[in-house]
């Protein structure tokens, strides 16, 4: 994976494969503490203790099309090389929380990349799921909750091209403002 926004897309795809109906992504860039934290919380099927232990091992997967799982080990390695760590919390039937930390200024920390493209890809691919995103940086923040947007849209689906275009512009503008 070239950047963290791609890791996030991949980790959220795990949540969706686990049947999550709501996924919350929280990202914080803490300049004072020199920390970056990514948290992904889902209400999917969850994992038991043994699965959690094995999920960080690339030779573990519950998929049947390929014998190795790469998503979590790759993110774990990205954390480790930039002086951070990956923490997995989960219980069967309760959902899963993935928490990844990085030293913000570390030379080997991957760049965040295009979070807007990741969010839009998730929204278009899984319009039925509620997606919450919050990005905090230095006192400023951007957030989005597709549950609220769906409420306002009524029976018009989230993946209607006109809705997608408006959402894309909105997310892009919000994230650009935060980056400035």
Partner 1 sequence: MAKLSIEDLKKIKESVQASVTLREGGSRAKVNIHMGTCGIASGARGIMTAVMDEIEKGDIKDVILTTSGCAGLCSREPMITVELLGSAPVKYIDLTPDKMREIFSEHVLGGKILEKYALSVGSETTF
Ligand X SMILES: Nc1ncnc2c1ncn2[C@@H]1O[C@H](COP(=O)(O)OP(=O)(O)OP(=O)(O)O)[C@@H](O)[C@H]1O
- Applying CB under 6 A, which residues contact ligand X? 14-15, 18, 42, 44-47, 55, 60-63, 69-73, 96
Q: How far is the CB of 34 from partner 1 (least distance, A)?
A: 27
Sheet (strand 95-103) strand order = 86-91, 95-103, 35-42, 22-30, 130-137, 140-145
Q: Which residues pair with 111 in a beta bridge?
A: none
Residue 126 binds: one of partner 1, Mg ion, ligand X, none (C-beta under 5 to 8 A by kind): partner 1
Nearer to partner 1, 93 or 154 (CB): 154
How far is Cα of residue 163 from the mean position of the Cα atoms in its chain? 22
Cβ atoms of 149 and 123 within 8 Å: the answer is no
Q: Which residues, numbered 136-155, are part of the site for partner 1 (CB under 8 A)?
A: 142, 149, 152-154
Burial class for 59, CB neighbours closer than 10 Å (0-12, 13-18, 19+): exposed
Please pick, from the candidates 5, 14, 76, 110, the single residue that binds Mg ion as defined by CB under 5 A: 14
Q: Is 55 helix (H, G, I), strand (E, B) or coil?
A: helix
Near partner 1 by CB under 8 A, which window of 18-26, 40-48, 95-103, 117-125?
A: 117-125
Binding status of residue 56 toward partner 1 by CB under 8 A? no
Near partner 1 by CB under 8 A, which window of 29-37, 47-55, 130-138, 162-170?
A: 162-170
């Amino acid at each position: 994976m070239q950047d963290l926004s791609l890791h996030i897309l991949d980790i959220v795809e795990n949540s969706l494969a686990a049947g999550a109906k709501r996924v919350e992504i929280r990202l914080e860039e803490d300049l004072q503490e020199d920390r970056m934290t990514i948290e992904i919380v889902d209400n999917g099927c969850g994992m038991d203790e043994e699965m959690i232990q094995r999920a960080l091992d690339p030779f573990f997967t519950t998929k049947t099309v390929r014998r190795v799982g790469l998503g979590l080990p790759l993110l774990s390695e990205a954390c480790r090389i930039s002086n951070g760590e990956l923490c997995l919390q989960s219980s069967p039937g309760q959902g899963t929380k993935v928490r990844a930390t990085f030293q913000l200024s570390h030379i080997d920390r991957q760049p965040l990349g295009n979070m807007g493209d990741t969010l839009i890809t998730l929204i278009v691919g899984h319009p039925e799921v509620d997606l919450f995103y919050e990005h905090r940086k230095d006192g400023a923040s951007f957030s989005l909750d597709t549950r609220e947007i769906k409420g306002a849209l009524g029976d018009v689906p989230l993946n209607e091209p006109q809705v997608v275009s408006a959402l894309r512009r909105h997310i892009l503008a919000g994230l650009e403002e935060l980056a400035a």
